Chains A and B, each alone.
Chain A
Amino acid sequence: MKNDSYSKGQLNALVLLRLFIGWHFLYEGLIKLLNPSWTAKGYLAGSSGPFKGLFQWLAGDAMIGAIDFLNIALLILVGLSLTLGFWTKLFSYFGIGLLILYYLAYPPLPGWEVTGPSEGSYFLINKNLIEAAALAILVQFPTASYFGVELLFKKKLKNNPTT
């Protein structure tokens, strides 16, 4: 950690970004967890793009149970990691992985129409990709030992370097 070399403003902005993304993941995960009839089946089965075969396979009876479980578990874990501030680097990678899968399920590519309403207009870049890029920043500029559970462990390590 090179927290000492960041200005306070830079650190706070990074923490804010981390908390916002963490909140977003956590809330998405919790809402799905609390709705017993939620499933990604429709989302995956409706996939449009060069990888739709893969996503439709994931939507199949054999896979969908595990996919729903993994999706909810990862959303919540990434959310907890970023909000509480532990293992943020590892879980940011998981978050990037999830977001890239969401991106690939409906990539905003010319020639791949997405049916249904969309809240914006996208070409190549959409909000999933931007959030993935923001997580890449959090990987490069970790802040959990400045603001987060890791801070407590860092102090302990400092106090007792042999443990």
Chain B
Amino acid sequence: MEDENKLSRRSALKGLAGIPIVGGALAGALSESLSAQSQKEKILNSLNISASPPPPVGSMSGDPIKIGIIGFGGRGEHLCRASGHATRQWLERTSEGGLKAFKDQENLNTQITAVCDLFDVRAESALESFGNNVKRYRSYQELLEKSDVDAVIIATADHWHAPISIAAIEAGKHVYVEKPMTHNIAETYALRDAVRNNPKVVFAVGHQHRQTQSFLTAQDIIKKNILGHISLIQANTNRNSDNGAWQYHIHEKASPQTIDWDQFLGDAPKIPFNKEHFFRWRKWWAYGSGLSGDLMTHDYDRVNCVLNMGIPQYVTASGGIYTHRDGRNVPDVYQVNMEYPGFVSGERNDKTRGMTLVYSATLGNQHNRRTILMGNDATMELGNSLTIYADPASKRFKSMIEQDIIEGGDAIYSYDPAANAMDGVTSATSKYFADKGLLWTYRDGKRVDSTFLHIKEWLSCIRHGGEPSCGIDEGFEEAITAHMAGLAYKIGRRIEWDPAKEEIVAMPGEELDRILLADTENIYHGIMNPASVVETMG
């Protein structure tokens, strides 16, 4: 009996010996996760970052807003989809996910009533897809005369942005224009005057990343002075594909019979019909603006929406056509230094003042160089997600580094609205835009097309009043900065902004707009001389 008891006691011990082991694992896991949690809380409490609420938008109910689309190429189609209208061809070719996202998109209560495109195939595609209410107009002037157009979306080649915007504003139509806002300096002032003289018109520039949640969070990080004094910012373009270098598809039906070539040229130099110029206009200064207007403007405005630093005082630039010597005259490698000697961020003291924004671009390599804002307390990496790294020599984080709560140089804060969402991005160019927060963003954990949100904000301002997040003042700063960068590249000297006179400083005899748009690469490649441009074109 005693033996049996002994045996059963031993059995009970061996039978239940696992319980303290489980307890041990649980205690270990609890203590580990609690300590990680408390470290995290200490850091988060110290940083106290909260995402600013997205720009407020009102209800979309009421009479539908009647939209005219001017320029119905790839971007024009996207802007129409963002407004709720997809072409039949797109619905047929898009992926299941794309179709679902489009169908789930909130109804913005708009009608496309008018289309103007200089290529018959595109205009007909709009007519066929958007129902009986839509009419085609051969010129934007005709379209703007129509009373069944309340607002226009302008997605033409760059050299038409300002002339059409100005005409539309003067005709009382609300305007959403693609970036860059203008193609030359003079029209930047003219467009600003037109908007200021017509306060009832809602004018928005298509920098859709202003809706991106990570940028709204970044604004709060700057407001709370977490980075300290920012002295250097790097923004980059890295693309290495035909599409990324603007080698777009040339439509097989393109011909002088299907394209209104003279109207396309507008004020650009008169040259014979050229399909490549029509479809790949981004490669020539006469219609586009190369890396400065096309891609640097994205990066510039991404930083400007976070820092509000405005127009740089000085701009220098260099680069060349190093990968795509295919007849283009805009550079494919391009470095721009934008100087802000008066820039102050963080705590004000005698020592910290001034900042350089470096834009570095190549269309011959797609190694992902992120946008980084470098302050004397921390560095912020900014894209669709956002990460902050404490600087090892930071004064702000000194005590936390000493207490081993954080390690200098390590990431101390990460904001990733996509942490629980899977993003299927296939093309290299799409990935480039997505990483920059230019394709979509997140609202309440759901992925949303940022262009849709930007259009929605514009429509809300039309219905309820208010200022779009990228209006004429932001557009003015974007356009002037892009033109300064273009001039710095072409002339090869430091270009200066005179903030009192609000003008770009020109040397005697220099006609800046002529130099900016001239059919030349740049001065130090021996290809042009600004003086000779003035003479030959004057």
A interface residue numbers (CB < 8 A to B): 19, 22-23, 26-27, 30-31, 33-35, 37, 39, 41, 45, 59-61, 64, 79-80, 83-85, 146-152, 155
Neighbour of B15 across the interface among A41, A60, A148, CB < 8 A: A148
Would A26 and B22 count as touching, CB distance under 8 A?
Answer: yes
Q: Are A30 and B8 in contact (CB under 8 A)?
A: no
Q: Within 8 Å CB of B36, what residues of A?
A: 35
Q: Is the CB of A30 within 8 A of B422?
A: no
Interface set of B (CB-CB < 8 Å, partner A): 8, 11-12, 14-19, 21-22, 24-26, 28-30, 32-33, 36, 419-422
Question: Given the interface contacts A35-B36, A85-B15, A152-B11, does A41 sit within 8 Å of B420 by beta carbon?
Answer: yes
Given the interface pairs A31-B32, A34-B33, A79-B25, the reply to whether A151 lies near B422 with Cβ below 8 Å is no
Decide if B16 touches A149 in the complex (CB within 8 Å): yes
CA–CA, A23 and B30, complex, Å: 14
24 A–B pairs (Cβ distance < 8 Å), ordered by A: A19-B21, A23-B21, A23-B24, A23-B25, A26-B22, A30-B25, A30-B26, A31-B32, A33-B29, A35-B33, A35-B36, A37-B419, A41-B419, A41-B422, A60-B422, A61-B420, A61-B421, A80-B22, A83-B22, A83-B25, A148-B17, A149-B16, A151-B11, A152-B12
Contact of B29 among A31, A146, A152 (CB under 8 A): A31
Distance in angstroms from A105 CB to nearest chain B CB is 15
Given A27-B25, A31-B33, residue A59 in contact with residue B422 (CB < 8 A)? yes
- Chain B residues with Cβ below 8 Å from A37 are 419
Q: Which residues of A contact B21 (CB under 8 A)?
A: 19, 22-23, 83-84
Interfacial chain B residues near A31, Cβ < 8 Å: 29, 32-33
What are the residues of chain A within 8 A of B22 when measuring CB–CB? 26, 79-80, 83-84
Known contacts being A31-B32, A59-B422, A64-B422, is A26 close to B15, with CB within 8 Å? no
Q: Which of B14, B19, B36 has the most CB of A within 10 A?
A: B14
Indicate if the CB atoms of B420 and A34 lie closer than 8 Å: no
CB distance from A138 to the nearest CB of B (A): 14
Least Cβ distance of B534 to chain A in Å? 54
**Looking at chain A's contact residues, is the secondary structure mostly helix, strand, loop, or mixed?**
helix
Complex contacts, B25 vs chain A, CB 8 Å:
23, 26-27, 30, 79, 83
A57 to chain B minimum Cβ distance, whole angstroms, is 10
Q: Which B residue's beta carbon lies closest to that of A79?
A: B25
For A65, give the chain B residue with the smallest CB separation. B420
Q: Say yes or no: A146 contacts B33, CB within 8 Å.
A: no
Shortest distance between the CB of B67 and any CB in chain A (Å): 32
Distance of B96 from chain A, by nearest CB (Å): 12
Task: Specify which of B12, B16, B17, B30 is in contact with A34 (CB 8 Å cutoff).
Answer: B30
A34 to B29, Cβ gap below 8 A? yes
Residues of A within 8 A of B419 (CB): 37, 39, 41
In the complex, the answer to whether A146 meets B422 with C-beta atoms within 8 Å is no
Question: A146 vs B10: C-alpha distance in the bound complex, in angstroms?
Answer: 11
Supposing A35-B36, A64-B422 touch, asked if A155 and B8 sit within 8 A by C-beta, the answer is: yes
The complex places the Cα of A41 from the Cα of B25 at a distance, in Å, of 25
Q: Which residues of B contact A60 (CB under 8 A)?
A: 422
Q: Bound state CA distance, A150 and B14, in angstroms?
A: 10
How far is B422's CA from A64's CA once the two chains are assembled, in angstroms? Answer: 9
- Name the residue of chain B whose CB is nearest to the CB of A151: B15
Please name the residue on chain A nearest to B446 by beta carbon: A61
Q: Are A155 and B26 touching (Cβ within 8 A)?
A: no
Which residue of A has the minimal Cβ distance to B33? A34
| Nearest CB in chain B to that of A60: its residue | B422
Q: Are B30 and A151 in touch, CB under 8 angstroms?
A: no
Is A146's CB under 8 angstroms from B14's CB?
yes
CB–CB B422/A27 < 8 A: no
Partner of B422, one of A23, A61, A80, A149: A61
Given known contacts A64-B420, A83-B25, A152 and B15 CB-to-CB distance under 8 angstroms: yes
For A83, list chain B residues within 8 Å (CB): 18, 21-22, 25
Q: What's the Cα separation between A53 and B250 when bound, in Å?
A: 34
Nearest-CB residue, chain A, relative to B16: A149
From B14, B29, B422, A147 is in contact (CB under 8 Å) with: B14
Let me know if B17 and A27 touch, CB within 8 A.
no
For the complex, give the distance between the alpha carbons of A150 and B12 in Å.
10
Cβ of B26: which chain A residues have Cβ within 8 Å of it? 26, 30
Lowest 10 A-B CB distances belong to which pairs?
A30-B29, A84-B18, A34-B33, A152-B15, A151-B15, A83-B18, A26-B25, A83-B21, A27-B25, A147-B14
Q: How far is the CA of A36 from the CA of B413 in the complex (A)?
A: 17
- CA gap between A22 and B25 in the complex, in Å: 10
Which residue of A is nearest B18, CB measured? A84
B-side contacts of A22, CB under 8 Å: 18, 21
Complex Cα gap A147–B8 (Å): 13
Nearest-CB distance from B44 to chain A (Å)? Answer: 13
Chain A neighbourhood of B15, CB < 8 A: 85, 147-152
19 further A-B pairs in the complex, CB-CB below 8 A; given A83-B25, A152-B12: A22-B21, A23-B21, A23-B25, A26-B22, A26-B26, A27-B28, A27-B29, A33-B29, A37-B419, A41-B422, A83-B22, A84-B18, A146-B14, A148-B14, A148-B15, A149-B18, A150-B15, A151-B11, A151-B14
